[in-house]
Chain A
Amino acid sequence: MLFKYSQQQLADGKEMSLPLVPITFRNKKKVFVTIALIDSGADVSILPIEIAGELGLKLDPKEKIEMNAAGGNTFFIYPSTEKIECIVEQKGFRSIILRSKVYFTEAASTILLGHNNFLYQLKITLDGVKKEIVVS
């Protein structure tokens, strides 16, 4: 699958190209269709806590993890109590379906796809020159 980078216009007038991929999170009959940032700096995938409600997921506060952000600040993430499906699809290709627990936080700035429950299971190439993402 090949996806183009997305454009982000910033308040300071700058424009960034970001490696975002379309992804669907599914918990039984509940689905959330979104786009998420490929983040090789994230140990796990982290979603805004509102999405847990959309997917009907319960979180496990006993298994919370304290995360250290690049700027030195810390925040907590909470795993779902059950695994969900993370689906990457594109017309003309066989869908990639990963089953894993995902983590949620109240501090999310966007949806991050990190190593442990996503990137370790895929081959992803970021072509920063062409601004393209190849997922296989």
Chain B
Amino acid sequence: MKFQAKHAGKWIVAKNEKIVAVDKSLTQVKKQVVDRVDFGELRFALVPRGHIAG
């Protein structure tokens, strides 16, 4: 999967690596896709805000 800078800090939903929904909130991004017939094929991710160290 490729994370884009414009999605930093946001939740994304992807199907086969293609992003189908974006929102700051997990609840809201899920609302955008929950009725899709292919919901079971979707993958959620929280895009890091930037560089990570831990």
Contact = CB atoms under 8 A, between A and B. Distances in A.
A24 B47 CA distance: 17
Nearest to B27: A50
B2 interface: yes
A53 B25 CA distance: 12
B1 interface: yes
A39 B5 contact: no
Interface residues of A, number: 31
Nearest to B4: A9
A35 B48 contact: no
B46 A54 contact: no
Nearest to B40: A33
A16 to B, nearest CB: 7
A42 interface: yes
Interface in B1-35: 1-5, 8-9, 25-27, 30
Contacts of A51: 26
A110 B48 CA distance: 5
Contacts of A34: 43-46
A10 B44 CA distance: 19
28 contacts: A6-B2, A6-B3, A7-B2, A8-B2, A8-B47, A9-B5, A10-B50, A11-B5, A16-B51, A18-B3, A18-B48, A20-B45, A33-B43, A34-B44, A35-B1, A41-B53, A42-B54, A50-B26, A50-B27, A53-B27, A69-B54, A109-B9, A109-B46, A109-B48, A109-B49, A110-B47, A111-B45, A112-B54
